[in-house]
Chain A
Amino acid sequence: MSSSSDPDKLMAKADKLTKLSFTRWNADWKTATSLYEQAAIAYRFKKDNEKAKDAFEKASKGQEMISSPWDAAKHLESAAALAKELGRWNEVSDFYRRASELYRECGRAQPASDALAKGASALEEKAPEEAIKMYDEACTLLEEDGKEQMAFDLYRSAAALYVKLEKYSDAASFFLRLGTAADKCNAINSQCKAYLSAIVIYLYAHDFQQAQKCYNDCSEVQAFLNSDQNRCAMKLLSAYEEGDVEEVKRLAQSSAFNHLDHVVIRLARKLPTGDLQAIKKDTAADDGEEPLDEDDLT
């Protein structure tokens, strides 16, 4: 079978097998696919990325033709890795997406989301928007399949990316998603850490109201209520309310924060941001409004 080890010859042969012409009515995909695979491996060995990538693409197409989506997806992943080395970013995202679809065809959600995650991490530098979308899809895939536990890392990476892009509310919402996922899996520690991270992010974004609301929502959750992180959050928020900068700084150095994600730790160290006095004024104003609301309800 492995007659000539010259990949070019193999490719030519395989191409001949697949091109429909006057003499050839059916394309012999099976042999063609194996020839393509061999050629691709040989190219990769020779470090000829461009040709290897093409060979992998064709091999994957062949696998699709002989209806084995699993192998097709695997070849696409290799092709995508090579494309990454070549720097063809749109091809990277294309390949990984198609690979993920093929995996989904096989009914395997985990590899599908893995493919998307790989794509996203490859694209983090160059095309962060695309990467975020891929992370999102990967997380949704796993959520649908009920395998949230595998998604924790994805949530964290996505949130880190958002923080890098300075989209703090999105980042916080991702952390809250992590919290719900952790709740389903009974991963109390992760859940509490996620909630604390969300609160820290809101505070960093000068959004004290949101932080307060977030804290109140999270306090509904029994598991969070009894945790260390809850106490830490409470102290932090009360320090904010009192406008006590030193206290905030001291709390941010405390050990409960050291176990969060590094991105969040960096944010926490930079707290407090913004004008605490302004926040105090805001909260005072809010308290003034509340009695009116109560009157309305009665």
Chain B
Amino acid sequence: AVVSSLSSSPVRSSFGSLAARVVPRFLRPQSSSRARLRRQGGGSRGARMTVIDLLTRVDAICQKYDKYDVDKLNGANVAGDDPFARLYGSVDADINQCVEKAESAKQEKNRATVVALNAEIRRTKAKLLEEDLPKLQRLALKKVKGLTKEEIAMRSDLVAALPDRIHSIPDGSSTATKKNGTWGASGSRTGGAIKFDSTADGNFDDEYFKGTEESNQFRQEYEMRRMKQAHPPIHFSSLDEGLDIIGEGLETLKNMASDMNEELDRQVPLMDEMDDKVDRANADLKNTNVRLKETVLQMRSSRNFCVDIILLCIILGIAAYLYNVLKK
């Protein structure tokens, strides 16, 4: 259509201006739409990664293969001195962290975070007691060169002191004895009887037993709450309703999202087709424009010139004739 419209307008000067206008206008939007399509088509099309992508990838790869870093591994076993000190240092740091968490838990108003914090504290304590402590004990007893007997003795003392320190970290289970049965409306569950107490003596049987006690208490509380459902002072019924509403909202969202998913799946091949067609049209247009340019240049360079020269000669001839006539 472009070519036909251009050929139908025989004005010479309009060629150049049209070509100048057509070439950028048609090429620019196409290339930007192609770039958009490329970007939308996912990163798999064409390897155009930014520097940031490269950096993150390199980081991920390095992290993955760190464990094969021989130097680091060697560093771990260099001198017998280091492992003990290091492990002790890390245990120490953990204990301090736990203490801090316990502090913040005491001041925390939000019950949920308190519960979470306590759980974390208990987990760390268990880990320390079960894993790190025996290791430390073993390391402490190792004969290391460059250390005096007193230092070794000191180490064992340090290690012996650790369990006490660990046990002394408050994790909310110390108040268990008091708050055993009071699952009242005050909702003071923190200390509560959450006895998944892992001040683990390694006695898992005890824990399991406590677990079932737990669930019985839960059930009792649930029944009580159900019975008291009509009573205003209980706040938990609104929780249930709220959760129901949230659940429904989520279901709607899920359905909408899967519908959207399918719709997008439907449109992907269409976009691909469009992309191909636009690419082809673009190439054709480029071709046409180039040829047009050539033609226009040709016109301007050869014919224009000749005609101009001829006209000029004619004018000069006429001028000379007139001059002659007038001179006479």
B interface size (C-beta, 8 A): 10
Bound complex: CA A228 to CA B258 (Å) = 13
CB-CB under 8 A from A188, the residues of chain B are 258
Bound complex: CA A149 to CA B251 (Å) = 24
A/B pair count, beta carbons within 8 Å: 24
CB-CB under 8 A from B96, the residues of chain A are none
Contact B265 A187 (CB under 8 A): yes
Chain B 246-271, CB-CB to A under 8 Å as 1, else 0, gives 00100110010011011001100000
CB-CB under 8 A from A189, the residues of chain B are 255, 258-259, 261-262
Cβ of A23 < 8 Å from any Cβ of B?
Answer: no
Bound complex: CA A141 to CA B75 (Å) = 70
Residue from A185, A187, A255 within 8 A of B252 (CB atoms): A255
Least CB distance from A23 to B in Å reads 30
Q: Which residue of A lies closest to B259 (CB)?
A: A189
CB-CB under 8 A from B255, the residues of chain A are 189, 259
CB-CB under 8 A from B258, the residues of chain A are 188-189
Bound complex: CA A188 to CA B262 (Å) = 9
CB-CB under 8 A from B259, the residues of chain A are 189, 259
- Of the A-B pairs whose beta carbons lie under 8 Å apart in the complex, a sample of 11, sorted by A's number, is A149-B265, A149-B266, A185-B265, A187-B265, A188-B258, A189-B259, A189-B261, A189-B262, A255-B251, A255-B252, A258-B252
Residue from B248, B262, B265 within 8 A of A255 (CB atoms): B248
Chain B 25-54, CB-CB to A under 8 Å as 1, else 0, gives 000000000000000000000000000000
Chain A 180-194, CB-CB to B under 8 Å as 1, else 0, gives 000001111110000
Bound complex: CA A256 to CA B258 (Å) = 13
Chain A interface residues toward B at CB < 8 A: 149-150, 185-190, 228, 255-256, 258-259
Q: Which residue of A lies closest to B252 (CB)?
A: A255
Least CB distance from B37 to A in Å reads 20
Q: Given contacts A187-B262, A187-B265, A228-B251, could you give 15 more A-B pairs where the C-beta distance is less than 8 Å?
A: A149-B265, A150-B266, A185-B265, A185-B266, A186-B265, A188-B258, A189-B255, A189-B258, A189-B259, A189-B261, A255-B252, A256-B251, A258-B252, A259-B252, A259-B255
Bound complex: CA A149 to CA B263 (Å) = 9
Least CB distance from A158 to B in Å reads 18
Q: Which residue of A lies closest to B268 (CB)?
A: A149
Least CB distance from B277 to A in Å reads 13
In the A-B complex, the 5 residue pairs with the smallest Cβ-Cβ separation, listed nearest first, are: A189-B258, A259-B255, A149-B266, A187-B262, A255-B251
Q: Which residue of A lies closest to B257 (CB)?
A: A189
CB-CB under 8 A from A255, the residues of chain B are 248, 251-252
Contact A190 B262 (CB under 8 A): yes
Bound complex: CA A189 to CA B248 (Å) = 17
Bound complex: CA A190 to CA B265 (Å) = 12
CB-CB under 8 A from B266, the residues of chain A are 149-150, 185
Bound complex: CA A149 to CA B261 (Å) = 13
Least CB distance from B208 to A in Å reads 32
CB-CB under 8 A from B262, the residues of chain A are 187, 189-190
Q: Which residue of A lies closest to B250 (CB)?
A: A255
Bound complex: CA A163 to CA B258 (Å) = 26
Bound complex: CA A259 to CA B262 (Å) = 14
Least CB distance from B224 to A in Å reads 27
Bound complex: CA A65 to CA B265 (Å) = 40
Q: Which residue of B lies closest to A188 (CB)?
A: B258
Q: Which of B261-293 contact A (CB under 8 A)?
A: 261-262, 265-266
Least CB distance from B259 to A in Å reads 7
Bound complex: CA A131 to CA B255 (Å) = 31
Chain B 235-255, CB-CB to A under 8 Å as 1, else 0, gives 000000000000010011001
CB-CB under 8 A from A186, the residues of chain B are 265
Bound complex: CA A34 to CA B159 (Å) = 100
Bound complex: CA A188 to CA B255 (Å) = 11
